[in-house]
């Protein structure tokens, strides 16, 4: 699948010029082979594509323009002066398009010095980062490398520092996506960690600060690369990665899909794609989505898929903190961020993990002017010593802070429970949501009726408790008390949810919010 034109007949010209052109093509061919056929074959045997094959899959056909193909390392210590100098020095850089939109890319080449970062290798990445920032276009990094090139010492470390600095400068300005497609260790993990999204490939990609051998030496723990930093670990336990895929091909195709949801930069506005779905579509099945039994779960993803255009939803961090769902969809062809409590997992409560997951996603959407739709069914925060000792207060405050500082359109739908402080946190009217709707099944209160009555009428007999519970339910366990105070803009029919969201988002397109000047906020990290 070449992205360059091979074997193009040279034009008729004098022999000197023809010789020069042949020399150029020979040098290009040498650079394209990277570490050579033997190493390319070894890469394929591991189930991995080469750096250039990955770029072919990521970008539109024949759109890649390569930079710095002939760059070589300049190291002389520890035998590097005698080592083979391979053009490109272990990373392929350039730009192209994804569905016609400009994207910058660098792809580490494991066949050249194991993809390790040298001074010149870093300079190639830095150049692409600078260009992406100047052009205000997304940048995608494809990682398959063993860390710093040890023979270059501090020069390699300095290169990492320059890359890290640019990750920070670009944060919130252009989308930054990292795809881990092989080993990723040492300094190579910190650059992805500062990007917006990290995706991994199952069984062939690993991320760790120090590898299994160092861990064994320092802590006497015996652990495999997969156990230490495989895709399953980072998608379900550490939350370092936002998703994982079966192989290189699937990973790159899904990154293309994600890019279609993302703005080019923080001022470009969300992309708008043609949609075959009508904005006023109704779905009568939503009227029976919420069970009669308030303790019976239902799948919030059914509501999401029946609300967004054509059921197309790109979920972020699917394997982590399943009690909250985050991801991107479209309404009337325009990207929206979705944050939804999931009653199927822990009844949809907010805990430390869910709060962090949602807060990061909300902040990303706000940075890139992506409207946020929040679907609320939350019985509160998860109680217990494990949560309190783990800093639930501060983690919950992150989500509260993230929503409160939003200036993008915020539309909230309460489907069932909205209890306690979690009601406030989940994009309530009080912290800045623009349009707040509730289904007739919504229950908005400090806590569940039985628990509230047992506190209010502590020591009462069973008959009193039962009577007061019914009274509490009638008084507070409906959306109309909140609607009477204006905290809910309207109680809507479930089947009209998509139409209501579409109309609210259309009205909010011109939203403008002025904030007091400050250097930056101090989110409770």
In angstroms, the CA 299 to CA 147 distance is 42
In angstroms, the CA 122 to CA 91 distance is 9
Closest C-alpha to 75, from 150, 187, 132: 150
CA 312 to chain centre: 16
Any residues with CB less than 8 A from the CB of 381 and at least 6 apart, and which? 349, 350, 351, 387, 392, 396, 420, 421, 422
What's the maximum distance between 2 C-alpha atoms anywhere in the chain? 107
- How is residue 502 written in tokens? 């579409």
Closest C-alpha to 115, from 50, 58, 197, 70: 50
Phi/psi at 148 (5° precision): -75, 150
Closest C-alpha to 360, from 242, 501, 200, 258: 242
Closest C-alpha to 298, from 500, 503, 494, 498: 494
Q: What is the DSSP letter of 184?
A: E
Residue 107 in 3-state DSSP? strand
Give the end-to-end CA distance of the chain in Å, rounded to a whole number: 45
Secondary structure element (H or E) that encloses residue 263, with its range: none
Would you say 300 and 492 are in contact if contact means Cβ atoms under 8 Å apart? no
In angstroms, the CA 91 to CA 73 distance is 11
Altogether, the residues listed in the chain come to a count of: 525
Q: Which amino acids are annotated catalytic?
A: 186-187, 421-422
In angstroms, the CA 136 to CA 102 distance is 9
Radius of gyration (C-alpha) of the chain in whole angstroms: 27
What are the angstrom distances between the C-alpha of 334 and each of 137, 369, 407?
19, 12, 17
Per-residue three-class SS string for 49-83 = CCHHHHHHHHCCCCCCEEECCCCCCCCCHHHCCCC
Per-residue three-class SS string for 118-180 = CHHHHHHHHHHHHHHHHHCCCEEEEECCCCECHHHCHHHHHHHHHHHHHHHHHCCCCCEEEEE
Neighbours of 293 (CB within 10 A): 7
């Amino acid at each position: 699948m070449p992205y360059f034109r091979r074997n193009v007949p040279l034009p008729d010209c004098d022999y000197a010029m023809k010789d020069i052109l042949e020399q150029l093509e020979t040098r290009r061919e040498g650079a394209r082979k990277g570490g050579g056929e033997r190493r390319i074959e070894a890469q394929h045997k591991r189930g991995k594509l080469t750096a250039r094959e990955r770029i072919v899959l990521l970008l539109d056909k024949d759109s890649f323009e390569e930079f710095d193909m002939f760059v070589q390392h300049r190291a002389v210590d520890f035998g590097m002066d005698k080592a083979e100098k391979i053009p490109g020095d272990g990373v392929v850089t350039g730009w192209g398009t994804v569905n016609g939109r400009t994207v910058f890319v660098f792809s580490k080449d494991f066949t050249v010095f194991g993809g390790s970062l040298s001074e010149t290798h870093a300079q190639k990445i830095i150049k692409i980062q600078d260009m992406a920032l100047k052009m205000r276009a997304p940048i995608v990094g494809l990682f398959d490398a063993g860390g710093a090139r040890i023979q270059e010492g501090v020069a390699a470390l300095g290169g990492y520092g320059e890359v890290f600095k640019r990750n920070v400068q670009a944060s919130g300005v252009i989308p930054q996506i990292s795809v881990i497609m092989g080993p990723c260790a040492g300094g190579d993990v910190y650059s992805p960690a500062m990007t917006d999204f990290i995706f991994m490939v199952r069984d062939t990609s690993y991320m760790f600060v120090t590898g299994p051998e160092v861990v064994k030496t320092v802590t006497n723990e015996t652990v495999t690369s997969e156990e230490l930093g495989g895709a399953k670990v980072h998608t379900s336990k550490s939350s370092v990665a936002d998703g994982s895929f079966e192989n290189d091909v699937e990973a790159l195709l899904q990154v293309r899909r994600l890019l279609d949801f993302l703005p080019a930069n923080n001022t470009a506005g969300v992309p708008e794609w043609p949609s075959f779905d009508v904005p006023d579509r109704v779905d009568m099945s939503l009227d029976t989505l919420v069970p009669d039994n308030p303790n019976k779960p239902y799948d919030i993803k059914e509501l999401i898929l029946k609300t967004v255009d054509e059921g197309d939803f790109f979920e972020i961090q699917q394997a982590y903190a399943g009690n909250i769902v985050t991801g991107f969809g479209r309404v009337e062809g325009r990207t929206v961020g979705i944050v939804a409590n999931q009653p199927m997992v822990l009844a949809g409560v907010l805990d430390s993990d869910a709060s962090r997951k949602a807060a990061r996603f909300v902040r990303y959407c706000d940075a890139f002017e992506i409207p946020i739709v929040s679907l609320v069914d939350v019985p509160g925060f998860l109680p217990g010593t494990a949560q309190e000792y783990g800093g639930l207060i501060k983690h919950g405050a992150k989500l509260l802070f993230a929503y409160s500082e939003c200036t993008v359109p915020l539309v909230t739908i309460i489907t069932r429970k909205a209890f306690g402080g979690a009601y406030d946190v989940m994009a309530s009217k009080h912290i800045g949501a623009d349009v707040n709707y509730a289904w007739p099944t919504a229950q908005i209160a400090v806590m569940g009726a039985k628990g509230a009555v047992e506190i209010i009428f502590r020591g009462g007999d069973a008959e009193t408790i039962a009577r007061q519970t019914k009274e509490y339910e009638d008084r507070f366990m409906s959306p109309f008390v909140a609607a009477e105070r204006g905290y809910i803009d309207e109680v809507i029919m479930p089947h009209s949810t998509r139409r209501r969201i579409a109309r609210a988002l259309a009205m909010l397109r011109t939203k403008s919010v002025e904030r007091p000047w400050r250097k930056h906020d101090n989110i409770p990290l």
